[in-house]
Amino acid sequence: MYVSGVVRAEVAAGGDLDTAGAGSDVQGERVLRTERTNGIPPLALHKMRTSRDTSLPLPAPRLRRALVTGTWLFALVLSAACAGGATTAAPAAGAPTTALDGPRGMVSSASAIASNAGADVLAAGGNAVDAAIATGFALAVTHPTAGNIGGGGFMVIRFPDGRATTIDFREVAPAASKPEMFADSTGTYSSRIHHRTHLSVGVPGTVAGFAMAHQKYGVATWKQVVDPSVKLAGEGFALPPGLASSLAGVVSRSSYPATVAAYSKGGTAYAAGEVMRLPDLAGSLARIRDEGRDGFYRGETARLIVAEMARGGGIISAQDLAKYEAKERAAVKGTYRGYEVISMAPPSSGGVAMIEMLNILEGFDLKAAGHNSPRYLHLLTESMRRAFLDRARFLGDPDFTAQPVERLTSKAHADALRKTINLDRASPSEPAQVAQPEESLETTHYSVVDRDGMAVSVTYTLEAGYGLGAVVAGAGFLLNNEMGDFNGKPGLTDSTGLIGTPANVARPGKRMLSSMSPTVIAKDGKLVAVIGSPGGRTIINTVMQVALNIMEFDMAPEAAVAAARIHHQWLPNIITVEREGIPASTVSALEAMGHRVRVGGGQGTAHSVMVDQRTGRRIGVVDPRGRDAGAVGR
């Protein structure tokens, strides 16, 4: 069981970390607390063991490095069998340091508890793929706003020898899908049907994707990578503040009884620090652990999904579930000033659009313009405008529509687009050219690097925060509403952002277009960074700006992730800038060039792992925009 504890957020260089003192009872469980020794403050990580007999001695913990963001630092479980590595606590959110140095493996994600699950697998001898799978399953428990087994996403893998591949586990449209399915009885497009009914649920891909990645590239046993999430859900964990606050809102608004039952105490929201157990989810994860992918796509879990579809008017059938297949695809690759950029190919648009923008920007002297200067942001905006136009015109599921990936990612295409950019004035964006479909900001990304240099970048999602918001009764997991990423209605394109181009309309078995951009950067054959972000259509631009901060401006890891970001997506024709970090004078200068500018909140959470090119040490970077995030390393 995981129990919260408030500790100091300090780091001391060098010295030995000892454990001292006795266990104490917390909510009926025995907890070993680490005390300050040798001038080092209490640790953020504690070894715990669940036992009805609290007189049983606890084994001494094996410790590892950890960085946690949030309004407090909370305790995490460490496997009793984990090996090696010293643990230090790092500053909480708001402190200047958001990077953690690890000599070997590193996991950085939106949940410190989930990062720890992945780091445990690394410590036990698993590789980066194993750790990514363990982290992903744990996120389904501890980060339910986007972590999932009822959704889908993408995994980019770079091997130590420089080869790369990707796993596409994007959701697919059920067999009964059709292009006009989101229209009401009058034939009028309905946003409610498209995004907020059981018709918006795509056939989930996460479990199949993780199973394929493990079968092809994992070294740990399947039980080793799934069991941590089973224990988290069954034994419970103490809610960190961000999740507690988020779930309180979900419970108060939800119209789904199974959701309220799963994530509250009889309708009363959990408070931060209280232990939440998810027994139905534990049961679903245990079936996955014991039966592999068939434990989700066949048998009891599949029966419960089909029953949920019948209750809610959805169209996923047992046959849809049994037929689902993840796909291994070639990565899309580009170059920028000697760096290699490896990312996800369609049906994700992220890699193609990002490489197209980098190719355009490579022809400008961005250092001379100055980071986040008006000229620099103008050039970024104009490259974004053009790439997002191409995204909407051409990209979709490559199994249904020919994708001009080679042309869009070519230097020649970028050269032609660069010539259309006025250095002093904003370009127009017209609805007649194309618009963008609605896409939720609620995704999650995590990054893993192991001791051998294998790198894994994963972005996956339920689409909206908590997906449809419906927990499958008896199965305990949330359903996606990913069908909302298909175009709303064929031929319906307007200035509000709706798009009706044929490349991304719903058809049976088709994957919906995505902006997810899990990315790996290398140079001279050596791994440099593993990056990505949530954020809907902003994902592409967030990841590109982090990449530029690394490749163009040589920023330190924490600065590269923390720097202020902007977004433009062709239509609506507005630049969104983060409130913190972009001064009013820059906004005024952009407006003088003809740009419309909107000041918004934070953009994305780019939890990353970078590699010190001199020492080879892994550096886990937690985006300070996240609340409960954490990096854990060996």
Distance, in Å, from the CA atom of 576 to the CA atom of 598, rounded to the nearest integer, reads 5
14-31 pLDDT, tens digit per residue, is 222 222 222 322 222 222
Distance, in Å, from the CA atom of 109 to the CA atom of 444, rounded to the nearest integer, reads 8
Count Cα atoms within 13 angstroms, Cβ side, for 634.
25
Q: Contact, 370 vs 549, CB < 8 A?
A: no
Instruction: Give me the amino acid identity at 330.
Output: A
φ and ψ of 455, to 5 deg = -120, 135
Classify 77 in phi/psi space as left (phi over 0), alpha (psi -120 to 50) or beta. beta
Spot the catalytic one: 443, 459, 493, 542: 443
455-493 pLDDT, tens digit per residue, is 999 999 999 999 999 999 999 999 999 999 998 877 555
- In which residue ranges of the chain is pLDDT below 70? 1-65, 69-98, 431-441, 491-501
* Beta strand ranges found along 86-211 (DSSP E): 99-102, 106-109, 152-158, 164-169
* pTM of the full structure: 0.87
Q: Contact, 50 vs 1, CB < 8 A?
A: yes
Please state, in angstroms and as integers, the Cα–Cα distance from residue 596 to each residue in 269, 571, 607, following that order: 41, 11, 30
Angle among Cα 136, 137, 142 to the nearest 5 degrees reads 90
- Report how many helices (DSSP H) and strands (DSSP E) the chain contains, helices first: 19, 23
pLDDT for position 65: 62
Please state, in angstroms and as integers, the Cα–Cα distance from residue 100 to each residue in 104, 128, 633, following that order: 12, 18, 8
Domain-wise residue ranges, the chain: 1-97, 329-435+515-633
Q: Contact, 213 vs 155, CB < 8 A?
A: yes
Distance, in Å, from the CA atom of 142 to the CA atom of 136, rounded to the nearest integer, reads 10
Instruction: Mark whether 443 is an active-site residue.
Output: yes
Please, is 614 exposed, middle or buried when counting C-beta atoms within 10 Å of its C-beta (0-12, 13-18, 19+)? exposed
The domain made up of 329-435+515-633 has a fold known as Glutamine Phosphoribosylpyrophosphate, subunit 1, domain 1 (3.60.20)
- Taking the alpha carbons of 369, 375, 379, 380 in that order, is the dihedral positive or negative? positive
Instruction: Give me the amino acid identity at 175.
Output: A
